[in-house]
Amino acid sequence: MSAATTLSLRHALLALLVVAIWGTNFVVIKSALATLPPLLFAALRFTLAFLPAALFVARPRVPLRTLGAYGTLIGAGQFGLMFIAMRNDITPGLASLVIQTQVFFTIGLAMVFGRERLQRVQVVALALAAAGLAVIAWHTDAATTPLGLALVLAAALCWAGGNTVAQRAGKVPILGFMVWSSLFAVPPLLVLSLLLEGPSAMAQGLSRSHWGTWAAVLWQSLGNTLFGYGAWAWLMARYPAAAVSPLALLVPMFGMAASALLLAEGLPAWKLGAAALVIGGLALNLLWPRLTWATRPTT
């Protein structure tokens, strides 16, 4: 690891590019959902995240059950549920915000399975985020329904479950982990697509697909997954986590801005206030331990 504690300009721009990709990706998802059924779209995403990358990226030395659990939770859980919600029941901007509550679900799972204790500052952070979600729930309408909000929260819980599985796997090459776990996301997504969406809807979605649809699928696989996670892991290997991880707070900002600019999603005061509460809670949870450590008197 580099001795540097702050990112160089070039590496800071790389990190900003990654979070911009992750944030604007919600607009890309919405565009593909206009053609493809959600579960089929997710299955295609993970198929192309596995192949052809698996030919060049070695399988990490972790048990198959670990790869299977992670792939199922992230594929069928996180993205399957989120894609279903984003088709008709939540706007891309709010989806990019609500899905970040995975941080608090991850803390909750750590308390249950790792017997970690909730710190006072985390209680405050959780209260801020919960207040933001309450504002969103109060303003549900035809564009963001209670079902959509519930589905994205369930997706965030699945993401947190995936985080718990990955944490228990120990230090593994993150790119290889993402590529090979993608294989295990495909079968449950295809089965669920057949059962819930039906062969007719799957065939119609594929027949209606055009170059823009396939570009969106490839962007999910290559841009968002392989480049995004690969570049992020590369930065995390060279800098302290405190220098890199706070930039992830910009993901919902990029998501909401992109949805407003490209899809004309409105940004009324209540939505901005909800975003400020949720992002404030995330920032407090992430930055407070580092701030208290930095201000601790030296002996």
Question: pLDDT by residue (tens digit) across 149-189?
Answer: 999 999 999 998 988 888 888 788 888 898 999 999 999 99
CB atoms within 10 A of CB 101: 24
Domain boundaries, the chain: 9-294
| Residue 163: closest CA among 102, 223, 236 | 102
**Residue 117 in 3-state DSSP?**
coil
CB 125 within 8 A of CB 289: no
**In sequence order, which ranges of the chain are alpha helices (DSSP H)?**
9-33, 38-50, 64-71, 80-88, 92-98, 102-113, 120-138, 146-169, 174-192, 198-208, 211-218, 228-236, 241-244, 251-263, 269-294
pLDDT of 291 reads: 58
What is the structure's pLDDT at 135? 93
Q: Check residue 241 and give its pLDDT.
A: 66
Query: Of 125, 85, 110, 83, which is closest to residue 217 (Cα–Cα)?
Result: 83
Query: Which residues, 6+ apart, have CB-to-CB distance to 187 below 8 Å?
Result: none
Whether the CB-CB separation of 129 and 278 falls below 8 Å is answered with yes
State how far the Cα of 296 lies from the Cα of 292, in Å rounded to an integer.
6
Q: What pLDDT shows up at residue 134?
A: 94
> What's the confidence (pLDDT) of residue 146?
94
pLDDT score recorded for residue 8: 86
- The model's pTM is 0.88
Q: What is the pLDDT of residue 175?
A: 84
Q: Which residues of the chain have pLDDT under 50?
A: 1-3, 293-295, 298-299
- Please report the pLDDT score of residue 117 as a whole number: 77
